[in-house]
Amino acid sequence: MTGFLAVTRKEFRHVLRDPYVLGGVLLGTVLLLMLISYAVSADIEHIPIAVYDGDRTPESRAYLQRFINEEFFDVAYWARSAAEARELLRANLVRGAIIVPPGFDEALQQGKRASVQIIADGTEPNIATQITSHAEVLSAGHSAALLKARLRRSGLSTDEIALPLEFRVRTLYNPENRELNAFLPGMIGFVMTLPALYAGLSLVKEREQGSLESLLSTPIRRYQLIVGKAIPYLVIGLVDTLILTAAGVFLFDVPFRGRLSHLILFSALFLLSNIGISLAVASMLRSQMAALIVNGLLMMVPLTQAGIVTPLYSMTPDGQMQALMWPVTHYVIIARGIFLKGTGMQILMSHALYLLACGIALSGLAVWRFKKKLESPSWLAKMLRRVRGGAIQANRQRLGKLKTA
């Protein structure tokens, strides 16, 4: 127990004395979260579009006024022809175009369907889908208003006509469908890989400087050394969790409906898994650059599989199985549940148990691999020693024969 506390105190002093490590672990996580949240947020507004009014009547202007009043669209160009509107789209000056052909008002006056062309830039599928969906909603609203006006002119009261279905649509937990509300809690899991990364780099750094062997010559056991190095970064990671949560709530207005104690507990299990990965990799490598590259790949590769970019339910069964192997996938589910739904311990218990099992297994692997690496030589080293010993003995026998001769 004394050796464990000594290593923990030593590692805490190392972190507190090094401003680059302390700043990278604490301030670096906040800056990284802010940069990613501002840059990757998918809340799309003020999409530049071109508009062509080929009819130039009050009815066509009333229809296009809906797009002007909509905050999602920004009418950047009034084209003089349909060809010019398409050319603006081809030149990347706009992302979409609304084309009202001549005869729009005449078709409406005759009770016919008036055609309108909605064009979106398909080189950005996400934006194109949102452009078409918003345009269809605005067009449907204008069509409903025209239909009501026709019924009034026919002497029918629209209030007396009851629709067979009444839709009451409600979006729970994120009523505004704000993408950042779902994105930021998941990104906290990726940002929290920095404390785990520094834990592995600290172990490799001592090996490079030669201080690790002198530390191992003391009565400190291997598991005390590994656990003692992990505890400071686990504590720093929990402090990061509080800072990142405060940044998400107060800087980005992300709702937090769960219990902070639950988030701290689950974050501790997730940090244990990440630190286990970092220390296991560090126990196999001898340079900080190699440990940085390997740990960075292992912790950043799951970005596309953790459910942030691509939902889990849209993946193939093999893809879902592979995604659920990463600890960060479970933490994304946990963070979103606590932030947005206020999910309790009972519902998230399966994910917590998986993180606990991963943390214990990976930390055990780090201890075993580190002990195996330093105490007992590998089979290749043993074989080389035997070959070298046999060669030395053979040379000695030859020298003895030459002396007697």
Q: What is the CATH number of the domain that holds 129?
A: 3.40.1710.10
> Which token pair is 254?
């992300």
Tens digits of per-residue pLDDT, 257-308? 999 999 999 999 999 998 888 888 887 777 777 877 887 787 777 777 777 7
Range of 59's domain? 47-160
Sign of the dihedral defined by the CA atoms of residues 170, 172, 174, 177, in that order: negative
Residue 165 inside a domain? The answer is no
Burial label for 196, CB within 10 Å (0-12, 13-18, 19+), is buried
- 117 forms beta bridges with 99
Q: Do 18 and 144 fall into the same domain? A: no
Tens digits of per-residue pLDDT, 37-70? 776 655 577 889 999 998 899 898 998 999 898 8
Give the range among 57-71, 235-249, 335-349, 358-372 with minimum mean pLDDT: 358-372
CA atoms within 13 A on the CB side of 48: 12
Q: Do 144 and 196 fall into the same domain? A: no
> Which token pair is 30?
């906040």
Which of 87, 84, 82 has the alpha carbon at shortest distance from 99? 82
- Boundary-marking domain end, from 160, 192, 226: 160
- Can you tell me the distance from the alpha carbon of 277 to that of 360, in angstroms, rounded to the nearest whole number? 11
Q: What is the pLDDT of residue 266?
A: 94
Q: Do 303 and 345 fall into the same domain? A: yes
User: In 210-300, which ranges are continuous DSSP H helix?
Assistant: 211-216, 222-250, 260-282, 288-300
- Tell how strand 117-120 and strand 73-78 pair up: unpaired
> Which token pair is 58?
């009050």
Q: Do 185 and 285 fall into the same domain? A: yes
Q: Do 192 and 77 fall into the same domain? A: no
Tens digits of per-residue pLDDT, 180-237? 888 889 888 888 888 888 888 777 777 777 666 666 666 777 777 788 888 888 888 8
Q: Tokens 């960075």 identify what position?
A: 296
Looking at the chain, how many residues does it have? 405
- Can you tell me the distance from the alpha carbon of 99 to that of 335, in angstroms, rounded to the nearest whole number? 44
Q: How many domains is the chain partitioned into structurally?
A: 2
Q: What is the pLDDT of residue 51?
A: 93
Helix, strand, or coil (residue 310): coil
> Which token pair is 405?
């001769």
Q: What is the pLDDT of residue 372?
A: 42
Q: Do 261 and 299 fall into the same domain? A: yes
Residue 172 inside a domain? The answer is no
- Tell how strand 96-100 and strand 73-78 pair up: unpaired
Q: Tokens 């937990």 identify what position?
A: 173
Residue 218 inside a domain? The answer is yes
Helix, strand, or coil (residue 54): coil
Residue 136 inside a domain? The answer is yes
Residue 275 inside a domain? The answer is yes
Task: Please indicate whether residue 350 or residue 9 has the higher confidence score (pLDDT).
Answer: 350
Residue 219 inside a domain? The answer is yes
Residue type, 169: V
- Can you tell me the distance from the alpha carbon of 244 to that of 20, in angstroms, rounded to the nearest whole number? 19
Q: Tokens 């990463």 identify what position?
A: 326
Backbone torsions φ then ψ of 63, nearest 5 degrees: -65, -45
Q: Do 122 and 185 fall into the same domain? A: no
Q: What is the pLDDT of residue 399?
A: 64
Q: How confident is the model at residue 405 (pLDDT cuts 50, 70, 90)?
A: low
Q: Do 199 and 291 fall into the same domain? A: yes
Task: Please indicate whether residue 34 or residue 332 has the higher confidence score (pLDDT).
Answer: 332
Q: How confident is the model at residue 376 (pLDDT cuts 50, 70, 90)?
A: very low
Q: Is the pLDDT of residue 347 over 60?
A: yes
Residue 115 inside a domain? The answer is yes
- 97 forms beta bridges with 50, 119
- Can you tell me the distance from the alpha carbon of 339 to that of 336, in angstroms, rounded to the nearest whole number? 5
The pTM is what? 0.74
Which of 47, 42, 43, 41 has the alpha carbon at shortest distance from 138? 47
Residue 352 inside a domain? The answer is yes
Q: Do 152 and 287 fall into the same domain? A: no
Q: Do 32 and 61 fall into the same domain? A: no
Sign of the dihedral defined by the CA atoms of residues 243, 246, 248, 250, in that order: negative
- Can you tell me the distance from the alpha carbon of 374 to that of 378, in angstroms, rounded to the nearest whole number? 10
The per-residue pLDDT of the chain, averaged, comes to 81
Q: Do 300 and 229 fall into the same domain? A: yes
CB 135, CB 142: distance < 8 Å: no
Tens digits of per-residue pLDDT, 64-119? 999 898 888 899 999 999 999 999 999 889 999 999 999 888 888 887 888 899 99
Give the range among 169-178, 180-189, 241-250, 368-377 with minimum mean pLDDT: 368-377
Q: Do 219 and 301 fall into the same domain? A: yes
For residue 337, the 8-state DSSP code is I
